[in-house]
Chain A
């Protein structure tokens, strides 16, 4: 009843709404332009996805590819589309979007443009976890060095993925545990992430020092990242986590806008900054860890995709979140296509290509003031 009494007071003062028309209309036009930009990005994603589906020794028409995806073309086309190219493209879309969303949430809640899976120790933790799985756990049953070059070594890929996921979540777990004892500022969290990155990198180096050459090669191969090694159940898990995270982030879009303005401001608008920050960090870490555990280390997408969109569309998370997801998906698709196209029979490591592709785009955007 106390609440009702207070509620009654809320309605009391009202704002007078009359003023010269114009600003609101101009604003609505501006919002419409943002929506159009997002639709354009979505169309671009479809075009890039189809272009990527066309990559491979078997050249197919758009019609054949579409039919093949639904299993309606001839057996060979069906097999190629449903078994190889379809899952690969879908993996790129899901992984790119998930990494970009996680990066966007990290940057907003930590109010730090450098926050991402690779600066918060998530990628390094995953590499550490994978090293343990491949070298320590896999090494115990050392069955053959030759298998190491297959990419997943003697360790079971599921064990590797689980260990990588556990390692990736470790830094978040540490940050979360410490924040229960002491209130942590965003700066402290980012610095802690950097420290944990160093710790994991050191740990990985130490584990590798005592490993066989072939095992080290397997770890390096794992960290290169490969969208092709993701299995269907893994893709399903990644998609489910990604969609769940996307819903969570989007529900918090206004809170992110407020938190970026400052804690006092967000508090005054009814946002529980601490809880929102921790919850977002856990969800974003789970999202990024999941992708990294299955695909290997895919750098830079999570950092650069939100930044590109922020410069073009602004920092309003109502539009920044979906735009970042689309940009991340497009970026990873293009990078994946380049991996296949640069030196044809070879498939270059995706993690390297995303950085090589993303960095120049990012630098170009930084230096060219974007007009609205």
Chain B
């Protein structure tokens, strides 16, 4: 289990970002991390990956503080698709092969090459294998980053806005592939998502971040019109279609209620 226990983090003391966040990512679940822009979703991801150390509380990877797990081992346990990365003159195949690096001893072997081949095929990227990253479209590039995380073949998979830049079909395809890994291999996955409907379709756990705390966390039952209104300040209806909840914005902006959002204003959110 990968869990954050009462973690706090802010970039400037005057503007607390994450105040007290407790969130557990369990094997075999796919958690959507939802919340408004700038609420600290990506920062929470960086605490999970130990790119940053929490200023209070702790992040535990299977019981050990994540910062103390040796880097090479950590990279074999946890794959991360970052929101920001840069394309350069590396071929798609090389970029994905990099995901095998934490497991490689010296040069890549046939198994490494086969894993890359399989990942590219599963994402329908075969034809781009020898294209340079700096020649790809935004969506193609994002798909390569996912393929890289897939070949890293880890029990935990963290995705920061993995569907950015992807067209509708690719958004679903990518999250479907994550879902398959969760169901078939018991991977514990978490994704920062902006599209609540995408989350409802593919994820089984939901965590809403608001004002530096987890406002609500749990199964699909917690995704309610009230919760969305409280977190995003927008009126919505939630209906069911084919057994899946669907959120429909009703378009009315809900004014922030002073009592409820006093803390949010102090955060400058």
A residues engaging B (CB < 8 A)?
Answer: 2-3, 5-7, 9-10, 12-24, 26-28, 30, 111, 254, 257-258, 260-265, 267-272, 310-311, 314-316, 372
CB distance from A320 to the nearest CB of B (A): 9
Instruction: With A16-B118, A268-B152, A270-B102 given, name 8 new contacts (CB 8 A).
Output: A6-B64, A19-B117, A23-B117, A24-B110, A24-B113, A254-B98, A264-B85, A311-B89
- Measured between C-beta atoms, what is the minimum distance from B152 to chain A in Å? 8
With A and B bound together, what is the CA distance between A316 and B90 in angstroms? 6
Distance in Å: Cβ of B80 to nearest Cβ of chain A: 4
Closest to B129 in A: A23
Inter-chain contact A267/B51, CB cutoff 8 Å: yes
6 pairs, CB–CB < 8 Å, chain A vs chain B: A10-B73, A16-B118, A20-B126, A27-B130, A265-B148, A268-B79
Asked if B114 and A6 sit within 8 Å, CB to CB, the answer is no
A270 touches B130 (CB 8 A): no
A6-B64, A20-B126, A268-B78 given; A310·B98 CB < 8 A: no
- Nearest CB on A from B77, distance (A): 6
A interface SS class: helix
Complexed CA–CA distance, A263 and B80 (Å): 11
B121 touches A269 (CB 8 A): no
Are A6 and B78 interface neighbours, CB within 8 A? no
Q: Are B85 and A262 in contact (CB under 8 A)?
A: yes
Q: Which of B63, B118, B121, B152 has the most CB of A within 10 A?
A: B118
Chain A residues within 8 Å of B81, by CB:
268
Centre residue among B62, B98, B132, B185 by max chain A CB count within 10 A? B98
B121 touches A268 (CB 8 A): no
How distant is A256 from chain B, measured CB to nearest CB, in Å? 10
| Contacts known (A19-B118, A261-B86); A27 close to B113, Cβ less than 8 A | yes
Q: Name A268's contact: one of B80, B84, B91, B117 (CB within 8 Å).
A: B80
| A269:B75 contact, CB within 8 angstroms | yes
Determine the chain B residues whose CB is within 8 A of the CB of A316 once the complex forms. Answer: 90-91, 94
List B191-224 residues whose CB lies under 8 Å from chain A.
none
Given the known interface contacts A22-B126, A265-B82, the answer about A10 and B113 at a Cβ–Cβ threshold of 8 Å is no
Using A23-B121, A261-B85, A270-B71 as known contacts, say yes or no to A30 and B91 having CB atoms under 8 A apart.
yes
Q: Contact partner of B111 among A10, A17, A22, A314, CB < 8 A?
A: A17
- Cα–Cα distance between A260 and B86 once the two chains are bound (Å): 7
| B134 to A, closest residue via Cβ | A315
Min CB gap B53→A, angstroms: 13
Q: Is B16 interfacial (CB 8 A cutoff)?
A: no
B88 beta carbon closer than 8 Å to chain A: yes
Cβ of A105 to closest chain B Cβ, rounded Å: 15
**Residue contact B153 to A262, C-beta cutoff 8 Å:** no
CB distance from B161 to the nearest CB of A (A): 12
Least Cβ distance of B73 to chain A in Å? 6
Min distance, Cβ A12 to any Cβ of chain B, angstroms = 6
B72 near A6: Cβ-Cβ < 8 Å: no
For the complex, what is the distance from the CA of A316 to the CA of B163, rounded to whole Å?
27
Among B49, B80, B93, B119: residue with most chain A CB under 10 A: B93
Q: Which residues of B contact A24 (CB under 8 A)?
A: 110, 113-114, 116-117
Q: Which one, B71, B118, B186, contacts A17 given CB within 8 A?
A: B118
Chain B residue nearest to A255 in the complex (CB): B101
B153 contact set on A, CB distance < 8 A: 13-15
A265-B113 contact in complex given A19-B118, A20-B126, A314-B132, C-beta closer than 8 Å: no
Residues in B neighbouring A16, C-beta threshold 8 A:
118
Q: Is the CB of A264 within 8 A of B82?
A: yes
Q: Which residues of B lie under 8 Å from residue A21 when comparing CB positions?
A: 117
Cβ–Cβ contact B62 & A261, under 8 A: no
Query: Which residues of B lie under 8 Å from residue A20 when comparing CB positions?
Result: 121, 126
Q: Within the assembled complex, what's the spacing in Å between the Cα atoms of A267 and B158?
A: 13
